[in-house]
Structure 1
Amino acid sequence: MSVQETSLTASARPDVRRLGIGGGTALCAGAVLGPGVLTLPSLAAAAAGPASLLAWVVLLAMCVPVAASFAALGARYPDGGGVATFVHRAIGPRAAAVVGWWFYGAVPLGVVSAAWIGGTYVADAAGWGRTGAAVVGAVVLVGALVSNAVGLRMSGRVQLLLGGLLAVVLLCAVLAAAPRVSAAHFTPFLPGGWASVGSAASVLFFAFAGWEAASHLSGEFADPVRDLPRVTRRTLAVITVLYLGLAVTTIGALGPAAARTDTPLTALLEQSVGTAARPVAAAAALFLTFGAVNSYLAGASRLGAALGRDGAAPRWLAKGGAPGEVPRRSLAVLGVVAAGLAGPVATGTADLDLLMRATATCLAAVTLAGLAAALVLLPRRTPLWFGGLASAVLTAGVLAFSGWLLLIPVALAVAAVGFLTLRRTGRGTR
C-alpha cells in the first residue's frame, strides 16, 4: 500500500488508555514551559529592552488559538502523529510526511539545547565550568531517554512531580522579586524601535513551541474530547502566570542587568536570599530541563513510529507505536542523533544559541502547518477559526526573522520527499 493510501489515524484505539488529566497536564506543561524560562527573559531584554514585554504578550495571545485549535483537532483525530495527522487530513500524505520530518528532525536539536541549559545552571552554581555543564547535560538527556524507554506511565508520573515542584520554585522567584520592581527600569520603553520587538519575538518563539509536541500525545488520553480541552486550559493558565511574571520581574527588578545575565532566574532569587539562590536555581533548572526533554522525546518517539507505520519513514521505526506500547526503536534514533549533536556543543564547536534558533525555526514551521490544517478542518468563520488565522499570520512573521535558518526545514522537506520518491520508485520496479 502506498503512502497516499495510508492514514495517519488508522491505528486501532483500545478501550483503556494510560494518560489522565494530571499526567496529561504535566506532559503538556513540560513541553510548553521549557528551558526558555531559564534564558529567554534576558535574551529578549537584550533584543528589545522593556519593550520585550510586548513580544511576550503577543506570543501568549497567539498561544490561545494555537492551543485551542490543536486541542480541537486532537479531540477529533486522536493519534500519535499529532500535527502530521491533521495536515494529512487537510492537505495530504506528502505534506504530512514533511511536517513529521520537521518535528522529528527538530527534537534532537531541542533536547540537546535544553539539557545544555540545565547543565549550565548547575555548573554555574557549583563552579564546575564547561566540563561540568556537559556532564550534567548528559545526565539529563540519558535520564529522559530511560524514563521514556520504560513507558509513558512512569514518564507521566515523573512529569507530574517535577512540573509541580518547578511551578512552585518559579512562582516563588516571581513573588520574591516583585517588591523590587521599579518603574524606572521600564524607561526608555522602546530603545531599539519596533523592529526590536520582532527580533525579541523571534527569539522567544522557542518558549512557545510546545503545543505540537503535546498534540502527539492526543491518542493516549482515555477520552480526548473531554480531556484535551481541560488539559489545554490548565496548561495555558500555568504558562501565562509564570511567563508574564518572570518577564515583568526580570525587567523590573534587574533593570539593565537583565540583558547581561545568562542566568536570570538565579539573579532574581539572589535579590531575596543571596548566594543561597544558586543551588535553588540549579535544582529548578534540572526540573525544568528534564521535564522539557522528557516531553519532547515522548511525543517525537511516537511520531517516528507513526511515520514508520504509514510509510513516510523506514518501516522498522513503527515497532512499539501502538497505544500503550513504547516505541523504543524511534526513541533510540532520537537518542543517537542527540548524542551526535551533544559532542560539538560540549566542546564549543557548535553554538547553543544557534541550536535554539534552529529548533525554533523548525517548530514554527510545524506550528504554521498545523494552523493551516486547522483552517481547513475546523468550522469556518467561527471565533476559533479567525483566531487560528491571526496566529498563522503571526507565526509566518516569526519565521521571516529566521533568515538563512529557513534552509533547515527546507532541507528536511527535501529529505522527506526524496524518501517517499525512492520508496515509490523501489516498489514500482519490483
Structure 2
Amino acid sequence: MAGTRLAPEDERQHASAHPAPPVRGSVTAVQGTALYIGAVLGTGVLTLPGYAARLAGPASLVAWVGMVALSIPLAITFAALGSRLPDSGGVSTYVRQAFGRRPAAVVGWWFYIGAPVGVPALAIFGGSYLSALIHGNQDATALYAALLLGIGLFSNAFGVRVSGRVQLFLSGGLALMLVVAVLVAAPHARLDTMQPFAPHGWSAVGSAAALLVWCFTGWETMTHLAGEFARPERDIKRATTGALVLIGVLYLLLATTTVLVLGGSEEAAETPLASLLTYGFGSAGPALATLVAVLVTLGTINAYVGSTAKLGAALARDGALPRYLAPGAETGGVPRRSLFVVSLVSGAALALATRAGVGVEVLMLGCTACLIAVYVVGTAAGIRLLRDGGGGARLMAGLALVMLICVLGLTGWFLLWPAFLAVVAAVFTHFHRNREA
C-alpha cells in the first residue's frame, strides 16, 4: 500500500533485494581523451623531437615509429582493465586482484611517490620557456615553475569534473598549436636533410628510443580515474582509441617536420617548436612556442596530479597508506588530504631541483623508473585478469610485458629508487596489518 512504512527488518531486506544503483562519474569520452592526451602528450614535445634528431639523425624517425607502435599494447591493456575494474586504485587495484595485498601496496607506492617527483620536472620545462621569453635567469625559471605547479594543484582541489573541463581546453589548445607549427614549417621542408639517414649508426636509434621513453609514459594515469567516467565500460575504450590515434599522429608529424625542416642542427635540439613556429610567424614564433609550453605543462601536471591524489586516497582506503588519507576515494569525491601530500612531495622535489642543484634529469629518470616498474607488474596482472573473454587484450598485455622488461633495463641505476620504495611499502604494510589484526 502506498505510504505504508516497512518495519526496520523489512527495510533492510528490501534494500538488500533492491540495491541502490551504482554512483556514476561525470567524465565523458571526449574529456577522457583530453585527459589522456594531457598525460601522454607531455613536455617531451618541447625538446625531444630535436634531441632525438641530433642523436640519431633522420633514423630517429624509426625510434618514433617504434615507440608509437609499442605504446599500443600498453594502452589497450590498461583500457581493458579500467573498463572491467573501474576503481580509483588503478593499477594497484589490478595487482591486488591478481597477486594480493602486498604487491599492490608496492605498486601503489611506486606511483604515489614516483609520479609527484617527476611533476616538478614538467613545471621546470614550462617555466624555462617563460623565462627565456623575458630573458630571465634561473630564479625566474624557478618562480614560473612554482606558479605552474600551483595552478595544477589548485585546479584539482575542486574535483575531476572541473579538472576534466580544464583538460579539454588545454589539450585542444595544445593539439591545435602543434598542428599549426607543422603547417607553417612544412613549406620549408627539404629532402636533403634525410641524407645520410643514419649518420651515427643504427645503435644511435636505440639510444634515441631510450630518450623517447619519457614521451610515452602516462597510459596508466587514467586507470586511477576510471571510476569517474559516466560509462567506464564504453567510454574508457573510446577515450583510449581517440588518444592513441591523436597522440601517434601528432608525435610523428612533429618529429618528421623537425627532421625535414631543421635536420640535426643545434637549433633543432634546443628549441624545436620555437624554431618551427618562427618560419611562419617570425619574431612572434618564440612567444607562440611559450604558449604551447604553458599549455602542455599545465595539461600534463593536471592529469598526473588528479590521478595521483585519487590513488593515494584509494591506497589509504585499502590499508596501504594511513587511513587519514582515505576521504575522496569514492566516485565523485575530492581527495584533498591526499592532494596535500602530493603537493608536499612535488614541492620538495621542485625545491631540490631549483635550489639544491639536483638536475632535472634526476627527477625525470627517477620518475620514469617507478612508472616503468608499475607498468611491468600491471601488465603481468593484466595477463592473469583478462583470461575470460579478453583474449585480444590478454595478448596485448603479454606483448606489453615483453617490451617493458626490455625498456626497464634502460633506466640503469635509477632502479634503486623503486627498489627502495618497495622495501618501505612492504614494511609499512606489514606493521599496519599487524596493528589492525
Q: What range describes the TM-score normalised by the shorter chain of this pair?
A: over 0.9
Give the Cα–Cα distance (whole angstroms) in 2 for the partners of residues 292 and 325 of structure 1: 21
Q: How does 1:282-293 map to 2 (within 5 A)?
A: 282-293=290-301
After superposing the two structures, state which structure 1 stretch, 237-246 or 373-382, moved more.
373-382
Q: C-alpha displacement at 1:13, in angstroms?
A: 7.7
RMSD, aligned CA: 1.8
1:405 to 390, 414, 419: 414
- Tell me, yes or no, if structure 1 residue 312 matches structure 2 residue 320: yes
Preserved CA contact (<8 Å) 1:202 1:399: no
Q: C-alpha displacement at 1:376, in angstroms?
A: 1.3
- In structure 1, the residue matched to 2:14 is none
- Tell me, yes or no, if structure 1 residue 423 matches structure 2 residue 429: no
TM-score, normalisation: structure 1: 0.93
Q: C-alpha displacement at 1:387, in angstroms?
A: 2.9
Q: How does 1:222-261 map to 2 (within 5 A)?
A: 222-257=230-265, 261=269
- In structure 1, the residue matched to 2:7 is none
- In structure 2, give the amino acid aligned to 1:387: M
- Tell me, yes or no, if structure 1 residue 392 matches structure 2 residue 401: yes
- In structure 1, the residue matched to 2:58 is 50
Preserved CA contact (<8 Å) 1:123 1:133: yes
- In structure 1, the residue matched to 2:203 is 195
- In structure 2, the residue matched to 1:140 is 148
- In structure 1, the residue matched to 2:351 is 343
Give the Cα–Cα distance (whole angstroms) in 2 for the partners of residues 119 and 205 of structure 1: 22
Give the Cα–Cα distance (whole angstroms) in 2 for the partners of residues 427 and 15 of structure 1: 29
List per-residue Cα deviations over 1:350-385 (Å, max 9, x = no partner).
Answer: 111222122122111111222111111113893433
Give the Cα–Cα distance (whole angstroms) in 1 for the partners of residues 41 and 413 of structure 2: 27
- Tell me, yes or no, if structure 1 residue 330 matches structure 2 residue 357: no
- Secondary structure of the residue aligned to 2:263 is helix
Preserved CA contact (<8 Å) 1:46 1:260: yes
- Tell me, yes or no, if structure 1 residue 116 matches structure 2 residue 129: no
- Tell me, yes or no, if structure 1 residue 92 matches structure 2 residue 100: yes
Give the Cα–Cα distance (whole angstroms) in 1 for the partners of residues 188 and 61 of structure 2: 18
Larger radius of gyration: 2
Q: What percentage of residue pairs aligned between the two structures are identical?
A: 45
- In structure 1, the residue matched to 2:89 is 81
TM-aligned CA distance change 1:147 to 1:418, over 3 Å: same
Preserved CA contact (<8 Å) 1:115 1:289: yes
Preserved CA contact (<8 Å) 2:92 2:107: yes
Give the Cα–Cα distance (whole angstroms) in 2 for the partners of residues 194 and 159 of structure 1: 38
Preserved CA contact (<8 Å) 1:206 1:359: no
Give the Cα–Cα distance (whole angstroms) in 1 for the partners of residues 74 and 128 of structure 2: 31
After superposing the two structures, state which structure 1 stretch, 259-268 or 88-97, moved more.
259-268
Give the Cα–Cα distance (whole angstroms) in 2 for the partners of residues 43 and 412 of structure 1: 31
TM-aligned CA distance change 1:390 to 1:16, over 3 Å: closer
After superposing the two structures, state which structure 1 stretch, 144-153 or 121-130, moved more.
121-130
- In structure 2, give the amino acid aligned to 1:240: G
List per-residue Cα deviations over 1:178-235 (Å, max 9, x = no partner).
Answer: 2222222222222333332222222211111111111111111111111111111111
Preserved CA contact (<8 Å) 1:302 1:321: yes
Q: Aligned residues, how many?
A: 417
- In structure 2, the residue matched to 1:161 is 169
- In structure 2, give the amino acid aligned to 1:390: L
Give the Cα–Cα distance (whole angstroms) in 1 for the partners of residues 132 and 124 of structure 2: 12
- Tell me, yes or no, if structure 1 residue 352 matches structure 2 residue 357: no
TM-score, normalisation: structure 2: 0.91
- In structure 2, the residue matched to 1:40 is 48
TM-aligned CA distance change 1:13 to 1:112, over 3 Å: farther
After superposing the two structures, state which structure 1 stretch, 226-235 or 192-201, moved more.
192-201
- In structure 1, give the amino acid aligned to 2:331: P
1:68 to 64, 76, 90: 76
Q: C-alpha displacement at 1:258, in angstroms?
A: 5.5
- In structure 2, give the amino acid aligned to 1:392: L
| Segments ≥4 residues shifted beyond 4 Å | none
Preserved CA contact (<8 Å) 2:54 2:265: no
Preserved CA contact (<8 Å) 1:364 1:395: yes
Give the Cα–Cα distance (whole angstroms) in 1 for the partners of residues 137 and 279 of structure 2: 24
Q: C-alpha displacement at 1:241, in angstroms?
A: 1.2
Give the Cα–Cα distance (whole angstroms) in 2 for the partners of residues 13 and 77 of structure 1: 17
Give the Cα–Cα distance (whole angstroms) in 2 for the partners of residues 329 and 90 of structure 1: 28
Q: C-alpha displacement at 1:114, in angstroms?
A: 0.5
Give the Cα–Cα distance (whole angstroms) in 1 for the partners of residues 264 and 278 of structure 2: 16
Give the Cα–Cα distance (whole angstroms) in 1 for the partners of residues 333 and 392 of structure 2: 37
- Tell me, yes or no, if structure 1 residue 302 matches structure 2 residue 306: no
Give the Cα–Cα distance (whole angstroms) in 2 for the partners of residues 379 and 424 of structure 1: 30
- In structure 1, the residue matched to 2:282 is 274
Instruction: Note the residue ranges of structure 2 that are not aligned, 5 or more in a row.
Output: 1-19
TM-aligned CA distance change 1:398 to 1:20, over 3 Å: same
Instruction: Note the residue ranges of structure 1 that are not aligned, 5 or more in a row.
Output: 1-11
Q: C-alpha displacement at 1:38, in angstroms?
A: 0.9
- Secondary structure of the residue aligned to 2:269 is coil
- In structure 2, give the amino acid aligned to 1:413: A
Q: C-alpha displacement at 1:166, in angstroms?
A: 1.0
Give the Cα–Cα distance (whole angstroms) in 2 for the partners of residues 115 and 174 of structure 1: 24
Preserved CA contact (<8 Å) 1:27 1:214: yes
- In structure 1, the residue matched to 2:385 is 377
